[in-house]
Amino acid sequence: MRTLLAVRGVGNLGKTSTIKKFYQLLMEAYPRALVQEISVGIDITVIITIDKVKIGIESQGDPTDRLGTSLRLFVQAGCKVIVCATRTRGKTVK
């Protein structure tokens, strides 16, 4: 079973900042975690492994961007927890 945590809101509300802060706090709490950085910049796509539990994190939630690709990647990688951004309606919600 997987758990999906979606940070939901309209554009420019702070979803990316919140997800990046979550990533930062997770890394501070688990400095020995294994990290696979897929994309790191303004937005991040990473997979973190903590005690054999994989967590996929995607901060980009715009409808025309990479969210769908990242979600498929996280499922294929066996992530048990996925944290992502989503808008309040439209394609990213679906």
> Measured between alpha carbons, how far is 32 from 34 in angstroms, rounded to an integer?
6
Nearest to 23 by CA among 45, 53, 6, 51: 45
pLDDT in tens, 26-56: 999 999 999 999 999 889 999 999 999 999 9
Beta bridge partners of 33: none
pLDDT in tens, 51-94: 999 999 999 876 667 888 999 999 999 999 999 988 765 555 55
β pairing state of 53-58 and 81-86? parallel
pTM of the model: 0.90
